[in-house]
A and B are shown apart, each in its own frame.
Chain A
Amino acid sequence: MTSPVLPKLVGQRIRRREDPRLIQGRATYVDDIKLPGMLHLAFKRSDIPHGRIRSIDVSAALAMEGVETVFTGAQIAELVAPMPIGTAWPSPEHRAVAVDVVRYAGEPVAVVVARDRYVARDAADAIAVSYDPLPAVVDPELAMTGQPAVIHPAFRNNLALDGLPGGTGVSAAGVDDSAIDKAFADADVIISQRMVNHRLVPNAMETRGVVAHYEPGKGTMTIWGSTQNPHVMRSIIAAMNGLGQDQVRAIAPEVGGGFGAKINVYGEDFVAAAVSKQLGMPVKWIEDRSEAFVATSHGRDIIGYVDLAATHEGKVLGIKLRLVADIGAYNLLFTAMIPTLTMLMANATYDIPAIRVTVTEVFTNKTPTDAYRGAGRPEATYFVERAFDMLARQLKMDPADVRRKNFIQPDQFPYATQMGAVYDSGDYEKALDRALKNANWDELKQQRDAAKREGRLVGLGLAMYVEVCGLGPSAILPTGGWEHSQITVERDGRISATTGASPHGQGNETTFAQMLADQFGVPIEHITILHGDTAIVKQGVGTFGSRSQAVGGTALHLAGGKVKTKMAKFAAAMLEAAEEDLVFENGRVFVKGAPASGKSFAEVSAFAYVPVPLPPGLEPGLSEEAFFEPTNNTYPFGCHISMLEVDRETGEPTLLKLVAVDDAGHLINPLIVEGQIHGGLAQGIGQAMIEEAVYNSEGQLVTGSFMDYAMPRATDFPRFELDSTVTPTPSNPLGAKGVGEAGTLGSTPSIVSAAVDALSEFGVTHIDMMLRPEKLWRIIQGGRA
């Protein structure tokens, strides 16, 4: 054999295998699916935030040519069970289509089934609904007093979760305040600030959509959905429609982004399935963008009351954090869990003697919240990092030095936090130092000072972050925290591999194939990664919580190892050699040092599938599966530095520089990792600077379209400056931590801190996001934030 050894692909910046179909318009998203006889759904939605339905008149809609039928909420309630909740706390009943009372503007009240999409929409518009309006509950802190109304009678004062405590002194036996009280009694300095981590709209570029096809002859359902987790969708759709999981096939075709908002399985999905089952016809529903603004879950929306106790030297003694989460009108699948992740991550990167967090979740007449990129962790990072920045400012210390004084040290890992997490590995000072070096921190400070002397308003901000990723052991996830893969060396020697980590832009077809190419010593072109179809991928959990590489990738690696072991047994029989002497290289299996006498994958496979004679102790075939259950989460971390200028005349902020150092452990494809970080940064910067879901006092979303909600454009960003440190995790054999959400964590507080720094001459110590020019202008004019 003279051919060169195939280069190792793990760690290489190779271009993606998914791209050829995507750049040529040849991919298939849900809206591209057309089935014979397919009917179209359109939802009539409440245009008021809170009210009792007095009557629904569907006669005009039913009279329209092309309308098959119309279902009201009461009729849908006869077809499907109430919506499922993924958390154990009590939760109000939530129907896919409202029955008596509407609780947010945009809640479905009826659904039209028509032969054409335009007709369906016309008919929905022709439905007349009259309501007895109820007071709109908009302000979550007012809502906690039961004012101006109680949304769900069983939930006194609109409290979905009433002050769940966690941290120092909290145990099953009760709550002991002595340590946290002592921290504050001993403090030289106390920082107290109310901070708002405001509501955002996830806005994947592909809206949600579903095609449901119930086949009465077979009694089976196929459902195509724009989802991050088709297996979760299958389980729920089956349960809701009285079918077995073996009778439902869920398919996530090409999915145009998710960002957490496509974890939940939504009412429209249940309705599509139920209507298809009822009518025995395929049905399709595609969300409009304006509809998506109110019908798809929102993110964030947590008020944090932060109290931080410290010494004159900058050592933090204690943190108290009281969280009030405005969760909207209902609990979706993980709504209730998200603010508890904020609680879990309140230690941030610091070794703090005492921390106490309480979580209160409040119902309001708004679209429900659920996961949005970062999902609870950006909020924790924001509250703690902003408080550290305020401490640095008060003590006139460099913000880096305050962090340095409080870091968990590398030799303290695994580190059990006050909040019950066990941080796997970390070297926070290394990431900080790298970021300071890459940013030329001291020089930036001189530039800032020089600009200020010229009368310009330039500021610097720095933030550390650590997030919980690689979700996660099954103990913390009601879906199960494992991932699954089945790997087959096919009869021609090519490899197919399934993964339950169903991607929507993450590039798993590339990174997973890179791993397998190295593991088997075959060209990447010989590998196909299969995903997103529960009929092909027998089990899976899905892609969220930056888990696809750490958990999904590991399942692949384990299944690959099993197949390789079996393949070695067949090859050993063919070569009359010992398994342990075999090498897998260049698409061949051979005895070490004797490649010429080896067998190709096709030859080994041909024998494995027609094994004459069958080697003792072996079954035919080369196909093995693995479930990987991680022992712990992963805890990636990093440091983000921002430089920002505020226009003194207009208050308009401009982000001049963003330096990021991220540590996600071992990286499979650094090009893809960069893309993930860029995207996260863009969403974190978007939150800090321009994005905000705004409800008016009447409970109407006034930023309900792309005309009103500021989606970041290419002109909103400088060129990001990225770097990484590598601290592998012991939580999985790949040492990979996950990187999908990282960018949203440090960027946001670093930018707000930079804005505060820029405006420090006006005596401001905190500014609530987003950094609307008017808000900054008022500070410059001597007003308050």
Chain B
Amino acid sequence: MAQVSITVNGRLRKASVESRTLLVFFLREQLFLTGTHVGCDTSQCGACTVLVDGRTAKACTMFAVQADGSTVTTIEGLATEATLHPLQQGFWEEHGLQCGFCTPGMIMAAVGLLQDNPKPSEREIREGISGNFCRCTGYQHIVNAIQHAAGGR
């Protein structure tokens, strides 16, 4: 077992984990932050996307011990008490989700995208979320949602 100290959604969390524990299982099983989902076992689907030190990361591709000392933001940490994040608002307004399973990862990926490129073109949005699968929407309303958050709709 290894000791880790990770600041998750603004709160320092200390825990002991198996060295093979994936970051996503640490978040889900030990911190009960179940908004981050597991959609595959090969790092393709992006349902587990979180921010690690401000950059998007697939939490199924990292061990919890690799995040030791880092700052992690999950979907639960995105909204302030009173206000949804602009991307959450955009997904709501533009019907950017159906079953909702891919949504937390998709939103976190979009957060990373807009950090790097606040005014992306439609092509750039589609490329920016191409590491995230959605089986429900055909992506068009997700693109609209990200455009909404970027002030383009």
Whether B88 and A24, one on each chain, are in contact in the complex, defined by CB atoms closer than 8 angstroms, is: yes
B134 interfacial contact with A, CB 8 Å: yes
Determine if B18 and A290 form an interchain contact, defined as CB atoms under 8 angstroms apart: no
B136 close to A257 (CB less than 8 A): yes
**A-side interface mostly:** loop
Cβ 8 A contact of A25, one of B36, B93, B129, B132: B36
Residues of chain A with a CB closer than 8 A to B132's CB: 714
Residue pair A206, B39 in contact (C-beta under 8 Å): yes
> A32 near B20 (CB under 8 angstroms)?
no
Interface positions, chain B 85-129, Cβ under 8 Å from A, are 88, 91-93, 95, 97-104, 107, 122, 125-127, 129
CB of B61 closer than 8 Å to a CB of A: no
Residue of A25, A288, A707 with most partner-chain B CB within 10 A: A25
- Complex-state Cα separation, A91 to B37, whole angstroms: 38
**A23-B88 contact in complex given A28-B34, A706-B40, C-beta closer than 8 Å:** yes
Least distance between A690 CB and chain B CB atoms (Å) = 13
Bound Cα distance from A34 to B78, whole angstroms: 24
The 9 lowest CB-CB distance pairs between A and B, nearest first, are A25-B35, A256-B101, A22-B100, A505-B99, A682-B138, A505-B98, A678-B138, A706-B44, A25-B75
> A714 contacts B126, CB within 8 Å?
yes
Does A205 belong to the interface (CB within 8 Å)? yes
Using CB atoms, name the residue of chain A closest to B45. Answer: A706
Contact of B95 with A675 in the complex, beta carbons under 8 Å: yes
A549 to B37, CA, bound (A): 29
Give the bracket for the number of chain B residues in contact with chain A: 35 or more
Q: Mark A10-38, 1 if CB is under 8 A from B, else 0.
A: 00000110111111111111011010000
Known: A28-B34, A707-B42. 18 other contacts (CB 8 A): A23-B84, A27-B100, A31-B34, A256-B101, A289-B40, A289-B41, A505-B98, A505-B99, A507-B98, A678-B137, A679-B136, A682-B137, A705-B40, A711-B135, A714-B126, A714-B127, A714-B139, A715-B130
CB distance from B87 to the nearest CB of A (A): 8
Residue numbers in A under 8 Å from B92 (CB-CB): 15-16, 19-20, 23
Jot down 5 A-B pairs with beta carbons below 8 A, ordered by A. A24-B78, A205-B101, A256-B100, A682-B137, A711-B135
Tell yes or no: B62 within 8 A of A by CB: no
> Which chain A residues border B135 with CB–CB below 8 Å?
203-205, 257, 259, 679, 682-683, 711
User: B42-58, CB under 8 A of A: which get 1 and which 0?
Assistant: 10110100000000000
Task: Report the separation of the CA atoms of residues A743 and B93 in the bound assembly, to the nearest whole angstrom.
Answer: 23
The one of A22, A31, A678 in contact with B38, judged by C-beta atoms closer than 8 angstroms, is A31
Number of A-B residue pairs with CB-CB distance less than 8 Å in the complex they form: 179
User: Residues of A within 8 Å of B, CB-based: how many?
Assistant: 58
The reply to whether A706 and B138 contact each other, CB–CB distance below 8 Å, is no
**Closest A residue by C-beta to B88:** A23
Residues of B near A257 (CB, < 8 A) are: 98-99, 101, 135-136
A29, B139: Cβ atoms closer than 8 Å: no
Which residues of chain A have C-beta atoms less than 8 A from B125's C-beta? 714
Contacts of A22 in B (CB 8 A): 97, 100, 103
Is A469 interfacial (CB 8 A cutoff)? no
- A706 close to B95 (CB less than 8 A): no
Query: Is there a chain A Cβ closer than 8 Å to B140's Cβ?
Result: yes
Residues on A with C-beta less than 8 A from B28 are 31-32
Assembled-state Cα–Cα distance A20/B84 (Å): 9
Q: Is the CB of B42 within 8 A of A706?
A: yes
Given the interface pairs A20-B92, A204-B135, A707-B42, the reply to whether A719 lies near B140 with Cβ below 8 Å is yes
- Contact yes or no, A19 B91, CB < 8 A: yes
CA distance A289 to B141 in the complex (A): 25
A205, B102: Cβ atoms closer than 8 Å: yes
Residue pair B137, A679 in contact (C-beta under 8 Å): yes
Question: With a CB–CB cut-off of 8 A, which chain A residues contact B15?
Answer: none
Q: Are A118 and B18 in contact (CB under 8 A)?
A: yes
> Is B8 positioned at the interface, with any CB of A under 8 Å from its CB?
no
Q: Which of B76, B101, B127, B132 has the most CB of A within 10 A?
A: B101
The residue of chain A having its C-beta at the shortest distance from the C-beta of B74 within the complex is A25
- Contacts A22-B103, A256-B100, A679-B136 given: A672-B95 contact, CB under 8 Å? yes
Q: Are B93 and A707 in contact (CB under 8 A)?
A: no
Please tell me if B23 contacts chain A, counting CB pairs below 8 Å: no
Assess A504 versus B99: contact at CB under 8 Å? Given A24-B88, A28-B34, A29-B37.
yes
Q: Does B2 sit within 8 A of A, measured CB to CB?
A: no
Any A CB within 8 A of the CB of B65 = no
Tell yes or no: A305 within 8 A of B by CB: no
Query: Chain A's nearest CB lies how many Å from the CB of B24?
Result: 11
Distance from A671 Cβ to chain B, minimum over Cβ atoms (Å):
5
Q: With an 8 A cutoff between CB atoms, is A717 at the interface? A: yes
- Knowing A24-B78, A205-B47, say if A714 contacts B143 (CB, 8 Å): yes
Q: Does B63 contact A (CB under 8 A)?
A: no
A472 to B127, CA, bound (A): 41
- Asked if A131 is at the interface of the complex by the 8 Å CB criterion, the answer is no
A679 to chain B minimum Cβ distance, whole angstroms, is 5
